């Protein structure tokens, strides 16, 4: 769990008290905890009027995750993302509408899932009001560069220097390409586990990271997913399809994908999430070669 890796053991011990206080303050009753979260406590709750909702409490860290997520959800206002009902940034808590099952468990084909994720992401992309406090695309790129360098060294070089160099070069080009004048609201973590069935049909996204940058970043996340499928044919078939589907720049999609695949492979290795870490790093190795 990311919370343990980030040293949040005390927060985990304090969590029952935090939840009890939120139950009292928001007039909710907590029910079944939901599995699958890596950096937060998520549970089904019932509101005072009997309506269902979801409580999310994010573990505290240097990055203002709760503030960023709240900002994205307020700007999206239920269009492409889950609807935000209440938020308490001091306690890193959000109350969200309850959606259905994940796209990952839908049984749909890889191609159908990719189409759904593109459609949901496009609904989120929109101009951002001046002064909005979210990280920029350049900030994301700089974080990727820093994390890749540090994690690769700390993990005693679990992949080749050539693969790392390719990822760093790609991230560097995306940093240089950032243009605030053209930047938009970007979800920042679009994948099939973050897409939930909506009551009106279709799927909406949850757990936004929140970025002001080029929409190609969201599509780069889709490039890192399903590494075995990516290697089954021409790896750039996916980036070409994503570019054609959304009207976005194929090379930018590809470069974000290279950087994200490396960083996520290293993170999975760091927290012991296998075989996903090995698969991602193997794909990065093959593409670099």
Entry pTM = 0.93
pLDDT tens readout for residues 12-44: 889 999 999 999 999 999 999 997 666 899 999
Do 133 and 229 reside in the same domain of the chain? yes
Domain boundary (97, 124, 144) is at: 97
Residues 148 and 268 reside in one and the same domain: yes
3-state secondary structure of 57: strand
Q: Are residues 259 and 136 part of one domain?
A: yes
Do 90 and 123 belong together in one domain? no
pLDDT tens-digit readout, 193-242: 999 999 999 999 999 999 999 999 999 999 998 887 877 789 899 999 99
What's the pLDDT score for residue 36?
Answer: 62
Instruction: Please check whether residues 192 and 274 belong to one and the same domain.
Output: yes
Task: Output the pLDDT for position 136.
Answer: 98
Single residue among 97, 115, 131 that ends a domain in this structure: 97
Q: Rounded to the nearest 5 degrees, what angle is found at the Cα of 100, between the Cα atoms of 98 and 103?
A: 130
What's the CATH code of the domain at 240?
Answer: 3.90.1200.10
Q: How far is CA 7 from CA 10, 13, 39, 54, 89, in A?
A: 8, 12, 11, 25, 20
CA dist list (Å): 200 to 79, 139, 197, 215: 12, 35, 9, 25
Mean pLDDT for the chain? 94
Domain boundary among 51, 74, 97: 97
How many structural domains does the chain have?
Answer: 2
Structure-token pair, residue 244: 């054609």
- CA separation for the pair 29, 20 (Å, rounded): 9
Q: Find the distance separating the first CA and the last CA of the chain, reported in whole Å.
A: 32
Structure tokens at 53: 């909702």
Q: Which residues of the chain are under the pLDDT cut of 50?
A: 1-5
Residues 58 and 182 in one domain: no
Q: Which domain holds residue 123?
A: 103-288
Other beta carbons less than 10 A from residue 201's beta carbon: 6
Residues 70 and 113 in one domain: no
- Cβ proximity of 171 and 144 under 8 Å: yes
What integer pLDDT is reported at residue 37 of this predicted model?
63
The answer to whether residues 112 and 207 belong to one domain is yes
Is 92 in the same domain as 133?
Answer: no
Q: Is 123 found in the same domain as 78?
A: no
Q: Is there a single domain that holds both residue 133 and residue 252?
A: yes
Where b means 16+ CB within 10 Å and e means fewer, 122-146 reads bbbbeebeeeeebbbbbebbbebbe
Residue 80: which CATH number? 3.30.200.20
């Amino acid at each position: 769990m990311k919370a343990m890796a980030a040293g949040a053991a005390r927060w985990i011990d304090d969590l029952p008290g935090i939840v009890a206080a939120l139950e009292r303050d928001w007039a909710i009753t907590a029910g079944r905890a939901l599995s699958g979260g890596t950096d937060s406590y998520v549970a089904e709750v019932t509101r005072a009027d009997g309506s269902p909702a979801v409580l999310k409490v994010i573990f505290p860290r240097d990055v203002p995750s709760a503030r960023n997520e709240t900002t994205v959800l307020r700007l999206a206002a239920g269009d492409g993302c889950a609807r935000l009902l209440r938020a308490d940034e001091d306690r890193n808590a959000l109350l969200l509408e309850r959606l259905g099952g994940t796209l990952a468990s839908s049984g749909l084909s890889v191609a159908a899932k990719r189409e759904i994720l593109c459609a949901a992401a496009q609904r989120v992309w929109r101009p951002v009001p001046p002064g909005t406090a979210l990280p920029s695309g350049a900030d994301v790129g700089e974080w990727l560069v820093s994390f890749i360098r540090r994690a690769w060294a700390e993990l005693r070089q679990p992949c080749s220097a050539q693969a790392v160099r390719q990822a760093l070069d790609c991230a560097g080009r995306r940093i240089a390409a950032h243009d605030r004048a053209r930047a938009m609201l970007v979800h920042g973590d679009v994948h099939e586990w973050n897409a939930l069935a909506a009551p009106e049909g279709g799927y909406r996204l949850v757990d936004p990271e929140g970025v002001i940058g080029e929409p190609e970043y969201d599509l780069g996340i889709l490039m890192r997913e399903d590494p075995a499928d990516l290697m089954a044919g021409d790896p750039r078939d996916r980036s070409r399809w994503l570019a054609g589907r959304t009207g976005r720049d194929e090379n930018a999609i590809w470069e974000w994908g290279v950087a994200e695949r490396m960083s996520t492979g290293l993170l999975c290795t760091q927290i012991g999430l296998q075989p996903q870490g090995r698969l991602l790093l193997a794909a990065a190795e093959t593409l670099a070669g």
